[in-house]
């Protein structure tokens, strides 16, 4: 692992959802309570957009721009014109909830979940947005819906409900987007240390951010712990591989204990990532 670099961008109150857009050669991420989406270009140029609402997840769109999981649903953002367009409402009748983390499968379906602002257990759910903009509730009784990813053959979907202190795995049907046979993939954290966002690398290993734990942990495809990467911030929120060779790991954090609270970090861990799947709606 190369030494971590703190990147020269504004610190976030709650940095989240890093996403490398290979079409642009740029990293996107969000500062949830600040209602901002950030972009860091390869030349170091930083740009930010005020979305007017919290954004919990970001995915590139196949036709250009971004798809967002925001306060009350899925939205499209055209960065060139700073224009937000509603794709589909989610839990508009539950004002105490907001959308959180998410990701797209290879077919371009956008999975993202919800959570209560007060983190009430069981108040959230996991949803699937299809390319036709139809929304399907695929899982209920969720505490804090967080990291989502897939095995290399897309036969399994990894999922974090932070309040369970574990990463779960489902059988996944790539033809329909259906999930089933939920079971524990790996225990993660304990007490005030909870799993947050995740990323799957080209070896099929699963990298998980530990909120309150100041670390990223890497699990082998069989769930065994392979590596722990210490981060100089207690609240590590998520990670994503990027760069032209997908060998740079970008790490978001939130304000709090540690010299790097709220900072964006990058490093080269010796693993290679996978390109982010775009939303195809």
Q: Which of 207, 224, 221 is nearest to 270 (CA)?
A: 207
Tokens describing residue 148: 């989502």
Give the integer Cα–Cα distance in Å for 254 and 260.
9
Q: Is 238 left (phi over 0), alpha (psi -120 to 50) or beta?
A: beta
Q: Point out the residues that are catalytic.
A: 196
Q: What b/e sequence results for 65-77 when a residue is b if at least 16 CB atoms lie within 10 Å of its CB, and e otherwise?
A: bbbbbbbbbbbbb
- Beta strands (DSSP E) in 213-255 are 215-219, 225-230, 236-242, 248-253
> Contact 281/67 with Cβ under 8 angstroms?
yes
DSSP state at residue 133: -
DSSP 274: -
Burial of 244 from C-beta contacts in 10 A (0-12 / 13-18 / 19+): exposed
Of 111, 115, 113, 112, the C-alpha closest to 97 is: 115
């Amino acid at each position: 692992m190369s030494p971590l670099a703190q990147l020269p961008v504004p610190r976030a109150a709650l940095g989240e959802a890093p996403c490398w857009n290979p079409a642009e050669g740029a990293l996107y991420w969000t500062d949830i309570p600040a209602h901002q989406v950030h972009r860091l270009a390869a030349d170091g140029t930083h740009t930010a957009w005020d979305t007017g609402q919290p954004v919990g997840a970001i995915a590139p769109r196949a036709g250009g721009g971004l798809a967002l999981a925001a306060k009350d649903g899925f939205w499209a953002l055209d960065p060139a014109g700073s224009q937000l367009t509603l794709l589909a409402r989610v839990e508009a009748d539950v004002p105490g909830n907001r959308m959180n983390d998410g990701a797209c499968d290879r077919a371009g379906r956008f999975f993202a979940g919800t959570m209560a602002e007060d983190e009430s257990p069981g108040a959230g759910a996991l949803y699937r947005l299809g390319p036709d903009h139809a929304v399907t509730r695929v899982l209920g009784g969720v505490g804090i819906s967080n990291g989502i990813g897939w095995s290399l053959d897309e036969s399994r979907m990894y999922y974090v409900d932070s309040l369970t202190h574990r990463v779960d795995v489902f059988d996944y049907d790539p033809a329909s987007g259906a999930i089933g046979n939920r079971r524990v993939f790996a225990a993660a954290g304990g007490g005030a240390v909870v799993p947050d966002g995740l990323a799957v690398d080209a070896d099929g290993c699963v990298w998980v951010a530990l909120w309150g734990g100041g670390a990223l942990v890497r699990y082998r495809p069989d769930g065994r712990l392979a590596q722990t990467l210490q981060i100089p911030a207690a609240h590590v929120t998520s990670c994503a591989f990027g760069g032209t060779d997908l060998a740079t790991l970008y790490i978001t954090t939130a304000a709090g204990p540690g010299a790097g609270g709220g900072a964006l970090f990058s490093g080269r861990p010796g693993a290679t990532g996978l390109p982010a799947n775009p939303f195809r709606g």
